[in-house]
Amino acid sequence: MQFLWLYIDELVGKGLEFKVILEFLMWGSCQVLPLSIPLATLLSSMMTLGGMGEKFELTAIKASGISLTRVLAPMIGVSILICIGAFSIGDRLVP
């Protein structure tokens, strides 16, 4: 993202249309997206499970007889979908 903001002054100063500048920012974002999405997913899942553990929700779930695998299954499924999406963006848009 720093690369995008370093050269935005040069693009604006050349009299380019707003559409061209937005397209440049879109392609730059597509290059950063496959790198940032896995880290954001990991951080959000850690924060979610940490919050559940802090409020003893995980203890209540385990006490009610629900296994940890069943609790983590939706998060794993969403992570796999995000992984497939980030791979397809990195494979098709970035090169």
Q: Supply the DSSP string of 15-60, one letter for each residue.
A: T--HHHHHHHHHHHHHHHHHHHHHHHHHHHHHHHHHHHHHTTHHHH
Q: What is the pLDDT of residues 14-50, one digit of tens each?
A: 777 889 888 888 888 877 888 888 889 989 999 999 9
Indicate the DSSP class of residue 94. Answer: -
**Integer Cα distance of 41 and 34 in angstroms:** 11
Structure tokens at 92: 């098709």
pLDDT of the residue at 1: 63
pTM over 0.85: no
- pLDDT surpassing 80 at residue 3: no
Nearest to 38 by CA among 78, 76, 83: 83
